[in-house]
Amino acid sequence: MLREVQIDRGNMHNKQLPLISILCICNMLWIGVANAQANYPSRTIQTIMPLQAGSGVDILMRPITQKMSENLGQAITIENIPGGAGLIGSAKVAQSPSDGYVLGAFNDSILTMLPNLYKKVDYDPVQSFTPISEVAAITFVLVANPSFPGSTAADLVRIAKDKPGKIDYASGGNGSPQHIGMEIFRQYTGAPIVHIPYRGAAAAVTDVMAGQVPVMISALSVVLPHIRAGKLKVLGVASKTRSPLLPNSPTISESVKGYEFSTWGALLAPKGTSPAIIEKLNESLTAALKDQKLREQLVQQGFEFVPLGPDHLKEMITQGLAKMKKVIKDGGIQPD
């Protein structure tokens, strides 16, 4: 009997070995992950921007990521992947490892407009990403070719109603911020303006300057040099108050009471990125936006800073999805 008991104990001991080994391995893995997070970042961070170079978010994020790079002691690169109206680059971020070395620099179109526009989107704007922070609000401005006979947003409404279906507006494509901003304007005022979509905002701006299309709404950062050069004229600033960069230009709401429109840029990581890494990135972003020289540079391009952290960004996405669902449905907006 003694021998049998000893054999049984030996078997029990042998059965315990795998469990102990598993616990040791798990402990080692946990220590490895903890060390990796503590040493983060230890290599280059890639930031994917699903938009064209020269877009409002591109102009916003390049100097900010450069300053974050200095704060973190590692390079942060930006890769523009504008295909598929932004869907391709956004999906790539969603499908990337959650180790903090791939981030997404998005505008609210990626997160609130496109998911309501397309039947199939290879990411969920809420579930596929871990919010880092909204970065800045992007001021928009209603501009026209200098030959356009009106000088205010109310003039645009009047002229469009006098010539129903004859006044076109340009945008960067169906569901783009320029399209949504003008669709809200159309719904709000009843002006029978006609949408002319382009493949990107830069091409749309070029044709408005050339007089091919009379008007559009655009991020101020994109059109400000052309306004100052006299190649575009301002019909109204879409913010609640006048822009300090265009102190003599009225807001749209001064002639079309109640209309406001702006977009925002944000920084996100793939789903499952650890809170420690998100906190470190958020701290780096906050520190970057405290740099006075950087702030002045970006304010002069029409950005308003709102780095309020992950929880605020998540709420912004949720609210924006509901708002854009109604705008897109009521406007009957379809993909290109």
Closest CA to 55 of 106, 89, 122: 106
Q: Can you read off the two tokens belonging to residue 112?
A: 């609130």
In terms of DSSP bridges, do strands 129-144 and 215-219 run parallel, antiparallel, or are they unpaired? antiparallel
Instruction: From residue 85, give the alpha-carbon distance in Å to each of 119, 184, 335.
Output: 14, 20, 9
pLDDT at 189: 97
pLDDT at 3: 43
Q: How many CB atoms lie within 10 A of CB 18?
A: 9
pLDDT at 142: 98
Q: Which residues contact 257 (CB under 8 A, 6 or more apart)?
A: none
Q: What pLDDT digit, counting tens, does each position of 21-45 carry?
A: 655 555 554 554 455 567 999 999 9
User: What does the DSSP assignment read for 158-184?
Assistant: HHHHHSTT--EEEESSTTSHHHHHHHH
- All structural domains of the chain with their residue ranges: 45-138+264-331, 139-254
pLDDT at 67: 97
In terms of DSSP bridges, do strands 129-144 and 262-270 run parallel, antiparallel, or are they unpaired? antiparallel
Question: Cβ(285)–Cβ(135) under 8 Å?
Answer: yes
Do 45-138+264-331 and 139-254 share a fold? Answer: yes
Q: What pLDDT digit, counting tens, does each position of 135-144 carry?
A: 999 999 999 9
Beta bridge partners of 255: none
Mean pLDDT of the 308-330 span: 92
pLDDT at 8: 52
Closest CA to 146 of 255, 66, 235: 235
Q: What CATH class has 45-138+264-331?
A: alpha beta
Q: How many CB atoms lie within 10 A of CB 58?
A: 20
pLDDT above 70 for 204 = yes
Beta bridge partners of 144: 215, 233
DSSP state of 113: I
Cβ-count burial of 232 within 10 angstroms (0-12 exposed, 13-18 middle, 19+ buried)? buried
Q: Can you read off the two tokens belonging to residue 102?
A: 């791939």
Under CATH, what is the fold of the domain 139-254? D-Maltodextrin-Binding Protein; domain 2 (3.40.190)
